[in-house]
Structure 1
Amino acid sequence: MNSFDEILDGMRLQHALYACFQLRAPWGISFDTGEYARLLIVSKGACYLTGEQRADPVLLEADTCMLVQPGVQFSLCDGKEGPLVSCETLARYPHAEPIIHGGDGALTEIVTARFAFNKLAAEPLFSALGPLVHTRLRAEDAVAIKSILHVLQTEAQSRDYGTQLINARLVDVMFIQVLRALSHCASLGAGLLAGIRDPRMAPVLQAVHQQIARPWSVEEMGALIGLSRSTFSALFKAAVGQAPLAYLTAWRIYKAKLLLAAGSQTIGQIAAQVGYDNESSLSRAFSRLEGVSPGVWRQRHRAGT
């Protein structure tokens, strides 16, 4: 399993719900993601994005996709000033028929889905993306996503057996397709997605993730792709945004948190699995990054604090 798939598998998308808005100017909708993440696709027409600390509205044209993390407020509108209606007022999930709103002007169609997920498992991915990210789809991504949208819309209107389950699975697939599209976004900057997409860094990340307990050195990482220590370090940091050993430590602590949250293994057992000689070594590294010891972190996680 590659790095991207490993994170997605751990996220365990849940409660995925879908709606299609058919909007005619003038119109405006406000969104508050609350505890859910949300993806949106402008499938027809265009609109303007405001909010989330943006000084000026951003034009979103047809075939633009957007991924929004929980706890983010933003608005979409046709560009004219006017009252905003909340998404929750318009959409009562699940919603089989398209939601029609606005006046009698130009048409914009927006497909949106919201979903819950394992936030701990998603940390590396969502920290690389930021609270709200959008990009214009490449031609091949647009074709793939539009085919999913077609099936979603057909299923939503069929009301046949299993429609809700099928739509939930299709939203999962659409989410993965949107992530693929966002990984090509030029403005994404350094991070895990950029590293996975980098043909030189991808095999290194794959090896580090698969052999997390190995006592890696920077020289060994660079040797995997035939680069010197200094050249590799510079290229890795440019792509991933962290020095190689800093990234390795962060990934080990991430995996340690997953193990702490998942079961009753001792901290010593977890330390051995993620590349530390003993409990004390893990505790020191863990405390530096998380501010608390592994034991305290586990107690707080179980208590939901």
Structure 2
Amino acid sequence: MDVLQEHLIRARAAGGLFARSIAIAPWGLRLPGTIQLAVHAVVQGHAWLWTEGSDDALELTAGDLAIVRGGPDHFIAHEPGARCASPEEFRFSVNGDDRGRPDARSTVFLCGAYRFAGDIGAGLVQALPPVLSLPASIDDPIHSVVTLLSREMSHAEPGQQTVLDRLLDVLVVLGLRTGLARSPDAPAWFRAASDPRLSPALQAMHARADEPWSVDDLARLSNMSRATFARVFQQALGQTPMKYLSDWRMTLARDLLLAQDATLNEVAARVGYSSLYAFATAFRRHHGEPPRRWRQREALRTPDSIPGH
């Protein structure tokens, strides 16, 4: 199991919303920055995308994909600076016809809103640039998925929602993979996971965090001496193997605590601690408060909603 796959599995995507729109100029759509991950793809025509406070607009043509992470509001329209409506207003103002073949003057585009649960998913999203552009010519698999999504959304068929959900998952994973590979801010683990000297140890820590790993164990997995492994790991990830393992265990613990479906003893065991006391001590050291109090405080937070259109 590769490390990105482990992150995606544990990110527990909460699902997404997706819509296909056909619009004839003038048109514009404003989407709030509370959307954790927005996906936009143009099927026909062209559109411009920009974020609030930025003078740079990105042109999207047929087959292009853009991924926007949460932050400032962003806009997609027929031209830069166009008046943009809220999702609710836009749904009733577009003047294209979704029956039959779209008018040649129309822009056909897809908009999706996606959310991951917990710190692991948030970490993946924050590693992306604010706006990631993926032109069709660069990534043919993405172009193929966009085409399939548009085709599926243009006709009502049995099981359609399941097909759309799976295609959106594929689109987001392809976008994340490409975005992380390009991003100068990609997590150190993503770069180190491609190093054959370190990938066995990283995969083991991520997939089996509950095991009592030692530096010697991890060095043997990587076919290196203890000293060489510790040095190479420190150089690549900026911390010792045991500090990295401890941080990963705490990340898993936070997500398990937020899920509210495991007792504190169960959380402790699943992240590699032999007792609740040892887990609580480590958690307090990382977060400044015991896990029970942290869980109670976080449970009072109201998650942002995902608006649709």
TM-score between the two structures when normalised by the length of structure 1: 0.75
Q: Deviations over 1:247-281 (max 9, x none)?
A: 21221012222333445654344323322343333
**Aligned 8 A contact 2:20 2:111 in 1:** yes
Change (3 A) 1:49 1:201: farther
**Aligned 8 A contact 2:22 2:97 in 1:** no
**Aligned 8 A contact 2:250 2:283 in 1:** yes
- The one of 130, 134, 137 aligned to 1:136: 134
Question: Secondary structure at 2:209's aligned position in 1?
Answer: coil
Q: In angstroms, what is the RMSD of aligned CA positions?
A: 3.8
1:96 Cα deviation after fit:
10
**Aligned 8 A contact 1:218 1:233 in 2:** no
Measured in 2, the distance between the counterparts of 1:294 and 1:189 equals: 29
Give ranges in structure 2 of 5+ residues lacking alignment. Answer: 100-104, 303-309
Measured in 1, the distance between the counterparts of 2:187 and 2:197 equals: 14
- The one of 294, 300, 307 aligned to 1:297: 294
Give the structure 2 partner of residue 235 of structure 1. Answer: 236
Task: Note if 1:165 corresponds to 2:165.
Answer: no
Measured in 2, the distance between the counterparts of 1:44 and 1:201 equals: 44
Task: Note if 1:7 corresponds to 2:4.
Answer: no
Measured in 1, the distance between the counterparts of 2:234 and 2:288 equals: 27
Question: Secondary structure at 1:292's aligned position in 2?
Answer: coil
Q: Which moved more, 1:162-171 or 1:268-277?
A: 268-277
Q: Percent identity?
A: 27
Number of residue pairs the alignment of both structures matches: 292
Matches within 5 A, 1:180-191: 180-191=177-188
Question: Secondary structure at 2:29's aligned position in 1?
Answer: strand
Change (3 A) 1:155 1:87: same
Measured in 1, the distance between the counterparts of 2:113 and 2:44 equals: 20
Give the structure 2 partner of residue 279 of structure 1. Answer: 276
Change (3 A) 1:136 1:156: closer
Give the structure 2 partner of residue 34 of structure 1. Answer: 34
1:84 Cα deviation after fit:
2.5
Give the structure 2 partner of residue 101 of structure 1. Answer: none
1:3 Cα deviation after fit:
3.1
**Aligned 8 A contact 1:23 1:108 in 2:** yes
Measured in 1, the distance between the counterparts of 2:80 and 2:263 equals: 59
1:42 Cα deviation after fit:
4.4
1:126 Cα deviation after fit:
2.7
Change (3 A) 1:289 1:188: same
1:36 Cα deviation after fit:
5.4
Measured in 1, the distance between the counterparts of 2:235 and 2:136 equals: 29
Change (3 A) 1:268 1:243: same
Question: Secondary structure at 1:144's aligned position in 2?
Answer: helix
- The one of 253, 257, 266 aligned to 2:254: 257
2:159 is aligned with what amino acid?
Answer: G
Measured in 2, the distance between the counterparts of 1:188 and 1:23 equals: 36
1:298 is aligned with what amino acid?
Answer: R
TM-score between the two structures when normalised by the length of structure 2: 0.75
Change (3 A) 1:265 1:30: closer
Change (3 A) 1:147 1:281: same
Question: Secondary structure at 1:212's aligned position in 2?
Answer: coil
Question: Secondary structure at 1:41's aligned position in 2?
Answer: strand
Give the structure 2 partner of residue 211 of structure 1. Answer: 208
Measured in 1, the distance between the counterparts of 2:235 and 2:89 equals: 50
Give ranges in structure 1 of 5+ residues lacking alignment. Answer: 99-103
Question: Secondary structure at 1:187's aligned position in 2?
Answer: coil
Measured in 2, the distance between the counterparts of 1:296 and 1:248 equals: 23
2:56 is aligned with what amino acid?
Answer: P
